[in-house]
Amino acid sequence: MTAKPDATFHEVGKAARLMLAGNPTATELLWLPDDLYETRTALGEEMIRLRGAFLSAKRVRDAYLGYATQQFRKLIARGDESRSRSGNQRGRTAKHARHLMRLVDQGLELYTTGTVVIRLSDPRRYLAFGEQVAADAQAAVPFMSRAEERFDRAETVLPTEPDSGAVEAWLLRVRRAFWEAT
């Protein structure tokens, strides 16, 4: 039996809206290392060159720290029940904790430098954090307290508002190119 890839296709406007909102999953696509892109088109290259236009300080902070906070609340709500859970459930808790840490680190990097680092410099740090939180959900509390403090103290390089005019002009070029192709 051949596995079919899990894929969902959306109009490019949805990606633009998500990126303008600072959505971490959508935004990181603009910073992938070259070897992770399977196909690159001229319009895609243009989008990558425009990646800074999608960004704003408040939206990046709210999206990355906000999503990490949601993950944190879920971890705490599960509480220390994870100790008595199956290995699979503990594994999911560890994965969510790693994701929480990555969101904070990537968000702060983007907030302070204007770039997203995709490849982790120290993956063991994330693995250790995940295992620690899977064993005791309260281990995430000091990390999240420091995360908010780090964002509060950080100076951002990001603009107050995204350059929605540049994004809209690009979006219209994409739509025109595909409209004319059909």
* pLDDT at 78 (0 to 100): 80
Distance of alpha carbon 117 from alpha carbon 125, whole angstroms: 15
Q: In this structure, is residue 46 part of a structural domain? A: yes
If one counts every other C-beta atom within 10 angstroms of the C-beta of residue 21, the result is: 16
Comparing 146 with 78, the larger pLDDT belongs to 146
Rounded Cα–Cα distance for residues 162 and 171 (Å): 14
Q: With respect to residue 14, please indicate whether it lies within any of the assigned structural domains.
A: no
- What is the amino acid identity at position 169? A
* 9 within a domain of the structure (yes/no): no
Query: CA-CA-CA-CA torsion for 109, 113, 118, 122, nearest 10 degrees?
Result: -50
Give ∠ CA 139-112-36 in degrees, rounded to 5: 85
Q: Per the domain annotation, does 140 fall within a domain?
A: yes
Q: Which tokens belong to 11? A: 């109009």
Predicted local confidence at residue 1, as pLDDT: 56
What pLDDT digit, counting tens, does each position of 52-109 carry? 999 999 999 999 999 999 999 988 888 755 455 556 788 889 999 999 999 999 999 9
13 occurs within a structural domain:
no
pLDDT at position 82 is 47
The pLDDT confidence band at residue 180, using thresholds 50, 70 and 90, is: confident
156 domain-assigned:
yes
pLDDT tens digits, residue range 162-179?
999 999 999 999 999 988
The answer to whether residue 15 sits within a structural domain is no
Give the domain extent around 156: 22-32+42-181
What phi, psi does 87 have (nearest 5°)?
Answer: -60, -35
* Residue 14, both tokens: 């949805």
Q: Give the number of domains in the chain.
A: 1
Structure tokens at 146: 């420091």
Q: Tell me: the pLDDT tens digits for 102-135?
A: 999 999 999 999 999 999 999 999 999 999 999 9
Give CA 167 to chain center in angstroms.
19
Q: What is the pLDDT of residue 88?
A: 76
Domain membership flag for residue 37: no
